[in-house]
Amino acid sequence: MVEFLYGIEVVINGLMAGVMYSLVALGFVLIFKASGIFNYAQGVMALFAAMTLVGVQEGQVPFAHLINSVFGTQYHHFGWHINAFVAIAVAALVMLLFAYLVERYILKHLVNQEPIILFMATIGLAYFMEGFGDLMWGSNIKTLDVGIPQGGNFWIEEKTAFLGGEDFYGFYLDTLDIYATVIAIILVSTLVLFSQYTKTGRALRAVADDHQAALSVGISLRRIWVIVWSIAGIVALVAGIMWGSKSGVQFSLSLIALKALPVLMLGGFTSIPGAIIGGLIIGIGEKLFEFLIGAPFLGGATENWFAYMLALLFLVFRPQGLFGEKIIERV
Amino acid sequence: MNIKRMMMATAVAVSVATPALAELVIPSLVYRTGAYGPNGIPYADGYADYFALLNERDGGIGGEMVNLIECETAYNTEKGVECFEATKDLGSLVYQPLSTGITYQLIPKATAADIPILSMGYGRTSAANGKVFSHIFNFPGNYWSAASAVINHILDQENGDIKGKKIALVYHNSAYGREPIRTLEELAKKHEFELSLLPVDHPGQEQKSQWLQIRREKPDYITMWGWGVMNQVAIQEAANIRYPMEKFIGVWWSGSENDVIPAGMKADGYKALAMHNTGMDYPLYDDLKTYLYDTGKASGEHAGTVLYSRGMYAGMLAAEGIKTAQKMTGKSNITAGDLRDGFEVLEITEEKMAAIGMPNFGPSFKVSCESHGGPMVTAIQQWDAKNKTWSLITPFNPGDMDVINRLIAEDSAAYAAENNLSERCG
């Protein structure tokens, strides 16, 4: 009985982890859907957004090392500490500016290029952003605190402890994960509403369906790209906040993209619901596998392996992913 | 990122394409970038600043200027080997790879090139056996003495009886993280405690499964062999499940300010092993301030932190090895082979440490042909989250040398058999 209850706990925590993976995968899907670009820089965007948020919140002088090295000054902080909401708004504005600059200086010059060229461009962008972020905000580990509580939820633990005997301590749920789930639901709902019921949303869907047709009815591809990269930037900011709250903001945050890849392979690169369902399946699957087989029989640390194995299986039997559009090419 | 230091390092790297004669070339395998950069930077700064101080204040070592060549590895084994290949013919005296993976790869290469490796507190533990590993030194401590130090501390806490206790090892799933397992298994047999192993895959951003397992199994103590983001997430997760921090003991690579600050007050009481002291309360810092920080030759941004102190300590040990070799050979412009010989007779005394400006900073010890591992003593430090300081809470104590020496002998004998090596030190 206790093992069964702990199994349920693992499933619930797997769901929560899946939501965190979906948050990252969403950014990939948005850009791929609208422009056919696999954005290698999505993880670095999350890192850069979180670094900007902490930098603004803590009143850090951007490029302080560079300024001090060149001018021999000692500027590090403005001396303020800004409210988290204001800092999030400023970081969001920076991500909008980032989207504009990406379109203006990279994508604009690559219209009609092969997808592989666009992919290569995003690799370059990722490395540029890594260095630029370090130069702007420094590479030290930053503590991110936007007021979201963290740690095991006492209330849930106490209220569920009666389900098992002495060896059951109640269900463990991290409060941060609960917040992340609520925020993800709001984010996805907003995206769906925006996509279904606004003129810009319809334009986005039109571009996603057929670039040429969308262009022929007067939709500006460049404008759509700025919008879509802006939304992906905001999604990256949300992912950066959630993951950064757990580990501090540091380079490793950019590696969360690795957790999104199997989600995308499973859910499909073109489906927002696919990113969510894919994330949940990967989250539950890897945690359950680790609980039932990985830890007891294989020595543990099987999660990454399992996630990619599951994704590989889906690729073999359904290459477009669970919700992806089937690619049919006639010769 | 320290721009000035990077520019200087680049300039130095360019200038050593054809190394000038009569200088002491020391390659510094650093990682200022990548996932482990936040830890690599303070260490690299401490290492560089120590040699820069010797150059500025003393005109180098024994009259020879030190030429430090930084080579970026990004904590990547292949890149580390490339750095070695690119610098080994420049008159390089000693390598300190700061990576167990890189150290393993360089053991045969450096031995063949007659260049010593000092893997201070990391790398292959059995390299402490100088009879087999002629060019590898890992004083003053290694992972097996560290594992034993953890168990000894737990024994102290439990009045010498840990029979039936549960101890969990949370480790980086790499060559580094797996190093203490053998020793812990031996000690588990000896003291009859229950050991559970919980690997965490690189980089360690997601550890929910491991901490749910810990919450279910409720180990009496947890020890951690982590690095980089794995440490921060583990300490945060431990706090999340309300695991008592004073029963959570990290190795010395899981015990820097970087590891505990993100968890805030929840990390208060967390313990870690220490192979040296920390902080800025040492006379050496007066000189560092005068010659480097105040003159803009170094930022001193990380001065006094655990990893900066460790880099400085590593630099000091290499410099003392060079001084010993210079004295032994009677020449200032020593070779790597001379330094290897110097390391084998290196003696670090408290008087010497005090004269350097680092009194009570680390243990006194003596290296020999047979023992390249030094004293294998370890202290425990504890984090005070309120004052954001680490403090040593025990003296430097030896590990269980019966077990450690036996394991070192077994492992090094296996290495010697695999590589057809005969024992030295006659």
Per-residue pLDDT of chain A (331 residues; tens, 9 = 90+): 788 999 999 999 999 999 999 999 999 999 988 888 899 999 999 999 999 999 999 999 999 988 988 888 888 899 889 999 999 999 999 999 999 999 999 998 987 788 899 999 999 999 999 999 999 998 889 999 999 998 889 899 888 988 877 788 889 999 999 999 999 999 989 988 998 899 998 998 888 777 788 888 899 988 999 999 999 999 999 999 999 998 889 998 998 888 899 999 999 888 888 999 999 999 999 999 999 999 999 999 999 999 999 999 988 988 888 887 766 666 6
Locate CATH 3.40.50.2300 in chain B.
Answer: 3-141+280-377, 143-274
Secondary structure (DSSP) of A234-302: HHHHHHHHHHHHHH-BSGGGGGGHHHHHHHHHHH-TT-HHHHHHHHHHHHHHHHHHIIIIIHHHS-S--
- Given this model, what pLDDT does residue B1 score? 46
Distance from CA of A254 to the nearest CA of B (A): 9
CA A291 to chain CA mean position, Å: 25
Chain B hits for A300, CB-CB cut-off 8 Å, are 197-199, 209-210
Distance from CA of B334 to the nearest CA of A (A): 36
- Given this model, what pLDDT does residue B17 score? 45
Tell me which H or E stretch contains B145: helix B143-157
pLDDT digits (tens, 9 = 90+) for B25-34: 999 999 998 8
Residues of B in CB contact (< 8 Å) with A are: 1-4, 7, 32-35, 37-38, 41, 173, 197-201, 203-206, 208-210, 212-213, 215-216, 228-229, 232-233, 236, 239-242, 258, 261-262, 264, 266, 296
Token duo for residue B252:
């010395």
Distance from CA of A200 to the nearest CA of B (A): 36
Total Cβ atoms within 10 A of residue A59:
14
Chain A hits for B32, CB-CB cut-off 8 Å, are 139
Degrees, nearest 5: CA angle A259-A261-A264: 120
Answer yes or no: CATH 3.30.70.1340 is held by domain B143-274: no
pLDDT digits (tens, 9 = 90+) for A203-230: 988 887 777 888 888 999 889 999 999 9
Report the largest interatomic distance among the alpha carbons of chain B, rounded to a whole angstrom. Answer: 63
Q: Which residues, in sequence order, are CB contacts of A64 under 8 Å at separation 6+?
A: A75, A76, A138
Q: Which of B205, B218, B306 best probes binding to A when mutated, by most A CB atoms within 10 angstroms?
A: B205
Helices A2-35 and B208-217: crossing angle in degrees, nearest 10, is 170
Please state the φ and ψ torsions of residue A211, each to the nearest 5 degrees: -55, -50
Distance from CA of B329 to the nearest CA of A (A): 42
**CB-nearest partner of A250 from B4, B38, B296:** B38
- Given this model, what pLDDT does residue B14 score? 45
**Hey, are the CB atoms on A250 and B200 less than 8 Å from each other?**
no
Q: Please, which pLDDT band fits residue B322 given cuts at 50, 70 and 90? A: very high
**Hey, are the CB atoms on B213 and A295 less than 8 Å from each other?**
yes
The H-assigned helical ranges of B330-394 are 336-344, 350-356
- Given this model, what pLDDT does residue B3 score? 52
Please report the beta strands in B141-280, taking only residues with DSSP state E, as ranges in sequence order.
166-172, 194-200, 221-225, 248-250, 271-274
Q: Are B30 and B44 in contact (CB under 8 A)?
A: yes
> In terms of CA atoms, which chain B residue is nearest residue A137?
B1
CA B44 to chain CA mean position, Å: 12
Q: Is A6 on the interface with B (CB under 8 A)?
A: yes
pLDDT digits (tens, 9 = 90+) for B256-304: 999 999 999 999 999 999 999 999 999 999 999 999 999 989 989 999 9
- Given this model, what pLDDT does residue B12 score? 46
Report the CATH number of the B3-141+280-377 domain.
3.40.50.2300
Q: Is the peptide bond before B203 cis (omega within 30 degrees of 0)?
A: yes
Q: Please, which pLDDT band fits residue B214 given cuts at 50, 70 and 90? A: very high
Chain B hits for A252, CB-CB cut-off 8 Å, are 35, 203-205, 228-229
How far is it, in rounded angstroms, from Cα A283 to Cα A267?
12
**Hey, are the CB atoms on A247 and B239 less than 8 Å from each other?**
no
With CA atoms as reference, report the closest residue to B305 among B321, B334, B335, B285.
B285
Mean pLDDT (chain B, rounded): 93
- The whole-number average pLDDT for the span B148-155 is 98
Rg (CA), chain A: 21
| B368 CB-contact burial (10 Å; exposed 0-12 / middle 13-18 / buried 19+) | middle
Is the pLDDT reported for residue B9 higher than 70?
A: no
Q: Please, which pLDDT band fits residue B11 given cuts at 50, 70 and 90? A: very low
**Hey, are the CB atoms on A259 and B206 less than 8 Å from each other?**
yes
**CB-nearest partner of A250 from B198, B210, B229:** B229
Q: Are B190 and B147 in contact (CB under 8 A)?
A: no
- The whole-number average pLDDT for the span B377-384 is 97
pLDDT digits (tens, 9 = 90+) for B122-141: 999 999 999 999 999 999 99
